[in-house]
Structure 1
Amino acid sequence: MRPVVLACLVPALAVAGVLLAAARANGPARHDHDPDVLWRIVHERCVPNQLGENRPAPCAVVDPARGYAVLKDRDGVAQYLLIPTDRVTGMEDPSILRPDAPDYFGAAWHQIDRVQARLGHTLPRETMALAINSRRGRSQNQLHIHVDCLAPDIRVALHWARPRIGAGWTPLILAGHSYRATRIDGQDLDGVYPFRRLAASLADPAREMAGHTLVVVGTIWPGGRPGFILLDDMAKPVSGDRASGEELEDHACRIGHFEPGRAIRDSAYAP
């Protein structure tokens, strides 16, 4: 299939041109000073505080039974991180594919309410995204899922791509990188396990998972059914693509000030 080209979407959102450019300038969050800082915060502070004093600070929540903590990231107005309470390095960690692995993505989607609470208002599911970066595209050696707003231009690109996304993998060009997309139906992600869906599409998951990024974006499919778009990109060192799906998010959450859905729905070009 022919990749989606973002340039063709400009007429539908001419009123948001400046806003879209600003969103692309917002790069992935970095914690370069210490690649283990997230693990230390969760392991040495949040979990002991929860178990000893029944308070998760500095995390927003710690759920030892389900194996995760939620931390407000220092970057972004409303970004949260979902972090395992066990030592899990990232996409390459074999534990994420075990049958008894915690449902990290399912839990992460339930944190969008925290993002919206910090913004002070509710946004459509199509504006919310979850992202985990590849080994090349991350700064931390502890798995973490970024829970934040979708960049406005990516919101528009995915709206136009929806009719072409099905059970297989559809190629898309997003943020200048070659992603592929597949369809997920359902109101939430409980029991979906995107890690397993990616692994099932790879020839050698044990060797290949480390080079991939995953992004999950809420959507409403044509016909009104709620669901998600699962996006995958693979690191390509020669071209400079580090497979950092976080690039599709906007940590300034500008989409909270301008929701492109109205412009799309009112456009004569809307499908």
Structure 2
Amino acid sequence: MSVSFLRSSSFALLLGLAACNSAPPPRPPVNPDALWGLIQRDCIGPDAPRGACLSVDAAPGRRDVLVKDSHGDYQYLLMPLDRVTGIESPALLTAQAPNYFAAAWQARSLTEKALGQPLPRTVASLALNSAHGRSQHQLHIHVDCLRADVLAQLQAMDDAITTQWQPLPQPLRGHTYQALRLEGLALTANPLHLLAAGPAAAGDLGRWSLVVAGHGRDDRDPGFVLLATQADLEAGHQASGEELQDHACAVLTGAADALDGVR
């Protein structure tokens, strides 16, 4: 074997090792207006809905759209048809503000259809991330399944969840949550108004994340559990209630691992 061949082989090996040890190329920055752009592209106009937009309700008191999220097979997003940045928007607290959570709860039928099996009320969930725990600047409510471990915790703490806001006795996903029980088949009360009048009464609603989970059964004692957590940036908690959801819906599908995500 020639010396020149050994030298060239060694040089090639060094190049390969350098490539393996080099840092991966940085990901392109997330466009925070991507969802708003999607609404304008696919949910507005004479031929809407089209593309990624599944439905548009432009009736007064609603004005919302539904799109299929690209993260997970069963996740959908309910968004205002109008420009609403997020949970911190003062317009959400007016008497005329649409109850976007009520519309999102109705949209759980899409998750059930995608699953191809019944979606128990207690597994269905809605999540709205805080201003610190989201990547998009258009209000969007995640419609999907609860994580199996979170569902088990809520069932175990059921007696501690009352019709008054109070901290749960155990953290969820390592974070403190306050809980409130609502009765009824439909989500007639606006959860954002209840949050603003309760744990977030001191102001700065943008620091809060809100999750709504079903409780009971549709045919027996139906209701809801509202879960709210506040961002603590010094502790690294950005208040993304979406952490309680599983976009693989392992509790029903038997998926090996839960699929999380923040958008």
TM-score bracket, normalised by the shorter chain, equals 0.7 to 0.9
* Superposition TM-score, scaled by structure 1 size: 0.78
Residue number in structure 2 paired with 1:219: 215
Structure 2 Cα separation of the partners of residues 161 and 81 of structure 1: 29
Structure 2 Cα separation of the partners of residues 255 and 32 of structure 1: 33
From 134, 142, 158, the equivalent of 2:138 is 142
Aligned residues: 222
Residue 54 of structure 1: CA displacement?
Answer: 5.1
Residue number in structure 1 paired with 2:181: 183
Preserved CA contact (<8 Å) 1:105 1:194: yes
Q: Give the structure with higher Rg (CA).
A: 2
Amino acid at match of 2:201: A
Residue 55 of structure 1: CA displacement?
Answer: 3.6
* Superposition TM-score, scaled by structure 2 size: 0.81
Asked whether 1:157 is paired with 2:149, we answer no
Pick the structure with more helix per residue.
1
Residue number in structure 1 paired with 2:124: 128
Change in 2 beyond 3 A, CA 1:142/1:32: farther
Structure 2 Cα separation of the partners of residues 151 and 255 of structure 1: 7
Residue 91 of structure 1: CA displacement?
Answer: 1.0
Structure 2: give runs of 5+ residues left out of the alignment.
1-27, 256-263
Residue number in structure 2 paired with 1:78: 74
Report SS of the residue matched to 2:247. coil
Report SS of the residue matched to 1:198. helix
Amino acid at match of 1:64: A
Choose between structure 1 and 2 for higher RCO, CA contacts under 8 A separated by at least 6 residues. Answer: 1
Preserved CA contact (<8 Å) 2:195 2:201: no
Residue number in structure 2 paired with 1:60: 54
Q: Could you tell me the percent identity over the aligned residues?
A: 43
Change in 2 beyond 3 A, CA 1:32/1:138: farther
Asked whether 1:47 is paired with 2:44, we answer yes
Residue 164 of structure 1: CA displacement?
Answer: 1.4
Residue 44 of structure 1: CA displacement?
Answer: 2.8
- RMSD value over aligned CA atoms? 1.8
Change in 2 beyond 3 A, CA 1:58/1:93: same
